[in-house]
Amino acid sequence: MRSNRPSLPCALAIGGLDPGGGAGVIADLRAFAAAGAFGCAAVALTTVQSTAGVRSVRHVAPRDVVSQAEEVLRSQRVRVVKIGALGNRQNVLAIARLLARHAGVPVVVDTPMRPTRGRPRLLAGDALAAIRRELLPRATVVTVNLREARALIGVEVRTVGEAHDAARLLSDTGARAVLVKGGHMAGPRAIDVLALEGEIIELGASRLDIGPTHGTGCTFASLIAGRLAALDSGRQGVGRDDLVVAIRWAKRVHHAALARAVDVGRGMRALVF
C-alpha cells in the first residue's frame, strides 16, 4: 500500500567535523535545512576547533568515509552530494570512485584547503592534482574562492576579469559549472563569476563589512546543494535553469545570513538561518 506520509529529498555532505558547529558538515546540515532538504553527513576528517580557530586535524580512513556515504546512498532519497574538506589524496580518490558508482546524483564540490584561522591544512598539498584530475570532472558545480582558484590553476586571481579566466580554466577540467567567489576582491560590490556551459554570468551583491565570519564558503556551497535537492531534479538530471535558479537563490540567502552573522563565542561569528 502506498504511504501518504510526506517525504523529503536528502542532501549528503561529505566533509569535516567542526565541533564548534560553525563550519564543516554541521554547517552543511543547517544550510540543507534552510534550502528545504533533509541533511545527511559522512565525516572525512575530524578537527579540534571552535570559532577561535583550528587546533588540529585528523583524517578518517578512506574505507570508513566511503562506508558512511554508501549506507546513506543505499537507503535514502539522496538527490545531491556536497563535497567539502577531504583531508588527503587517499580520501579524494576514494570519493571520486564513490561518485563514479553513483553518476546519476548531482555533485557540488567545495574545495576548502586552509581554515580561516589556524595552521593545520584541510587538504594536503599532494591532493591537489587528484582534485583536478579525479573530482572536478565529476562535479555539477564547483565553488572556489580566490586563493583556492590560484592553487588549482597556478595563476593569481585578483580581479573580476581574472575570475572570468579562472572559471573558464576550471571548466576545462570537465566540471559542468564553476563559481569563482569574489568575496576577497576589492571594491564596493562582491561579484561572483559563474562559468556554465560556455557562458559567463556575474552575480553581484553589496559588500558587507562584518569582520571574520566562520564557515562562509562551505555554507554557500551547501545552500546551492540543498536547493538542487529541494528542486528534486536529481533523478531526471539537473537542467541549466535548475542550476542558475539554485545558485541565485543561494547567493541571496547567503548574503542575508552574512548580514546577520551572530556572535556565538570567542573569535569568529557564525551564520544562522
57-71 pLDDT, tens per residue?
Answer: 999 999 999 999 999
Task: Select which of 182, 183, 218, 219 is catalytic.
Answer: 218
| Catalytic residue flag (residue 111) | no
Question: Which one from 21, 215, 226, 267 is the annotated catalytic residue?
Answer: 215
What pLDDT score does 217 carry?
93
The whole model's pTM is what? 0.94
Active site residue 104: no
Q: How far apart are CA 98 and CA 104, in angstroms?
A: 12
Query: Which residues, given as ranges, of the chain have pLDDT below 50?
Result: 1, 234
Respond yes or no: is residue 216 known to be catalytic: yes
Known catalytic membership, residue 211: no
Residue 112 pLDDT? 87
Which pLDDT value is given to residue 17?
97
pLDDT of residue 85: 96
Torsion angle of C-alpha atoms 219, 222, 224, 226, degrees rounded to 10: -130
Predicted pLDDT at 5: 77
Nearest-angstrom CA–CA distance, 179 and 176: 10
Check if 213 is active-site.
Answer: yes
Q: From the candidates 16, 21, 183, 217, give the one annotated as an active-site residue.
A: 217
List the domains of the chain with CATH numbers: 10-259 (3.40.1190.20)
Contact by Cβ (8 Å): 28, 35: no
Catalytic residue among 181, 183, 226, 267: 181
Kindly state the percentage of the chain with pLDDT values over 70.
97
At 119 the pLDDT is: 73
- Residue 206, amino acid: S
**Catalytic-role residue among 216, 219, 234, 267:** 216
From 213, 226, 234, 251, the catalytic residue: 213
φ/ψ bin of 59: left (φ > 0), alpha (ψ from -120 to 50), beta (otherwise) = beta
Question: Is 10 a known active-site residue?
Answer: no
